Amino acid sequence: MTDEESADPTEDLPADGDGDRPAPTDEPFSIATFHEASQHVGRPVLTAASVADALEYSQAVATERLEALAEAGDLQRLSVSTDPVVWYPTELEDLTDRERVVVFPKRREIVVDRPDQFTRAQLSQFAHLEDANGEESYRYVVRPADVWQAPHDSFADLQRTMRQALDQRSDPLEEWVRSQWDRAHQFRLTTHEDGYTVLEGDNPEVMGNVARQKLDEEHVHAPISETEDWVREGAEAAIKRILYEAGYPVQDHRDLESGEDLAIALEVSLREYQRTWVDRFAERGEGVFVGPPGSGKTVAAMGAMAHVGGETLVLVPSRDLARQWNDTILEYTSLEAHQVGQYHGGQKHVRPVTIATYQIAGMDRHRSLFDDREWGLVVFDECQHVPSDVYRRSTRLQSRHRLGLSASPIREDDRQTEIFTLVGPPIGTDWQALFDAGFVAEPELEIRYVPWDDEEQRNAYSSAEGRERYRIAAENRGKIDEVRYLLSAHPDGKALIFVDYLEQGRELADALEVPFLSGETPHHERRRLLEAFRRDERDLLIVSRVGDEGIDLPTADLAIVASGLGGSRRQGTQRAGRTMRPAGGALVYVLATRGTREEDFARRQLQHLGRKGMTVREETVDSEQVTEHDGDR
């Protein structure tokens, strides 16, 4: 064949009305090509013009190729009023009848319609659930951290899980995942035969270009070889954090203390997903149990304690939680009272299982008490606090096993990755799976936009600036009437009312003649009120920010958030989550002053819960409605 005969046959063809664009006729065009165009455009239903634009064809050639795929049965066509014809894959026709997975490798996104629990469980091993729309559609994103933390011993195992979950092979996505897997195995912390810690790199290049560029004399003493550095004592956590942020997570292979043996038997049966959490923790020796309130993270942690079978230190944010941990351990395990101690401002007992506050554990004058004991397991409860400067000190207590617990490991300062570098990778089940299985009841969540009570407050808001504006909107006195209305609409419910400001809490307490539980409430009085609520001797409490995580609030049928969701996404999760228990029918109302920054804050923070699969409604309360509310009481 001559050069002339092998030339592109489309070189001298007319452009078919598309300017100078060539019209290729011999390039392969298959359903995979259509999917490539679909990914480029960002939707599964395309016109010939959009295919031509995505693939740089002429529209005439694109139409010809689409017609051919339609004749082969791979595509369907549909005439619509806005365009002569649209095209979509035949497989979309039975979308309502079966699970369907669509992979967008360039964006590293996976969209799954009607996934079964097996698929969701497989996806959770290498992807992050970004959005969920009930049972209909789930959107997963594969982030570097998801690959770094995948619970697999080899890339081949991870690859097998991906193909099972996707029911297909996606070479571009697999290549990217392989590159991230390799990054996650470049560095290791090991223990030298003389007892000190060594940082190892896979090769001299990565050691010199990454580790020795990022670390300094605060972290390492000196090089031992081209691929090894001698680590300063106590710098291990900082090294893991720095290299993680550089995109190179560190494998921790140190010979850490396992503590004295301690026989612990769990005297309650774990749910299937809790057993999965414990199994994944057992594989790695570290991790963070992530699940909604009511999913049993504390009981699962006791399953991890039983697996480790060693002396355990539990770190908590407050003495109230320390007391509750103490009671729960004695109730659900074989341990006896003399084996469990609390160490905080009220008590100071170090025992085989010790429950201490983060603040005490981080203080230099108490550190030796914890350092002198070899802990087999350290549990970081409410571990979203760990990156804060006060709490981070406690992470120097590096045992062989580390476990964190959190309903929502989110930080508004975007330092949540430090949680996983200092404690361990996330281990959890997507919220929708727990809703579907009936382990946790999905509450009905509604934002109610409340009008101003009077012109004085409205004018004060208009003239204020910054945080003061938000405080005035939060303390809108019109919310008192709305709380009264909601309580009267649910006369048989046990209710918790949350506030962010002490003055608002006091006003509500006076108006409703009920106790207000805040940080100013003495510990003994706080305990008495909560126990009365648990025993159904009280059906209403007003709770300040102290109730978000420092104490274990009893289950409620009704939660009214009078103010506070503008604070953080984590706060929204904690407060809405107070109604998430196996019993159904729970309601959460969020009150926001209409037309203010509080309205925007509430909507934005609750989008976080919407992405976890919860349904969020919105309702505007008008002035006439408020008058009707008053008349109904």
In a domain, 260, yes or no: no
Same domain, 302 and 200: no
- Claim: this prediction has a pTM higher than 0.85: no
Distance between CA 414 and CA 427 in Å, rounded? 19
For residue 398, pLDDT beyond 80? no
Say whether both 99 and 129 belong to one domain. Answer: yes
Domain-ending residue, one of 431, 457, 486:
431
**pLDDT per position as a tens digit, 14-42:** 333 344 444 454 567 888 788 778 777 76
Within this chain, do residues 471 and 578 fall inside the same structural domain, yes or no?
yes
Residues 418 and 495 in one domain: no
* pLDDT surpasses 90 at 286: no
Q: Which of 431, 449, 481 is the last residue of a domain?
A: 431
Indicate whether 88 and 103 sit together in one domain.
Answer: no
Domain membership flag for residue 88: yes
422 pLDDT higher than 80: no
Residues 617 and 487 both lie in one domain: yes
Lowest mean pLDDT among 66-70, 192-196, 432-436: 432-436
Q: Does any domain span residue 267?
A: no
Instruction: Say which residue, 519 or 67, is predicted with more confidence.
Output: 67
Give the 3-state secondary structure of residue 419: helix
What's the domain range around 33?
9-92
Tell me, yes or no, whether 127 and 239 share the same domain: no
CA–CA separation, 163 and 109 (whole Å): 15
- The three-class DSSP label of residue 266 is strand
User: Distance between terminal CA atoms of the chain?
Assistant: 94
Q: Please report the pLDDT score of residue 232 as a whole number.
A: 93
Task: Locate all alpha helices (DSSP H) within 199-289, ordered by sequence.
Answer: 204-206, 212-214, 236-245, 272-284
Which is more confident, 373 or 579? 373
Residues 387, 295, single domain; the answer is: yes
Q: Of the ranges 53-62, 127-136, 476-485, which one carries the lowest mean pLDDT score?
A: 127-136
Q: Are both 192 and 176 inside the same structural domain?
A: no
Q: What is the pLDDT of residue 364?
A: 66
Residue listed under structure tokens 């049928």: 557
- Spatial contact of 520 and 502, defined as CB atoms under 8 Å apart: yes
Q: Which of 28-37, 57-66, 317-326 has the lowest mean pLDDT?
A: 28-37
Domain count, the chain: 5
Residue 631 confidence class, pLDDT cut points 50, 70, 90: very low
Co-location of 51 and 158 in the same domain: no
Residues 117 and 192 in one domain: no
In a domain, 277, yes or no: yes
**Residue 245 in this model has a pLDDT that exceeds 90:** no
pLDDT in tens, 494-520: 888 989 888 999 999 999 999 998 878
pLDDT at residue 23, rounded to an integer: 44
Residue with the bigger pLDDT between 364 and 288: it is 288
Say whether both 279 and 401 belong to one domain.
yes
CATH of the domain at 378: 3.40.50.300
CA distance 289 to 329: 18
Q: Assess contact for 627 and 483: CB atoms under 8 A.
A: no
The whole-chain average pLDDT of the chain stands at 79
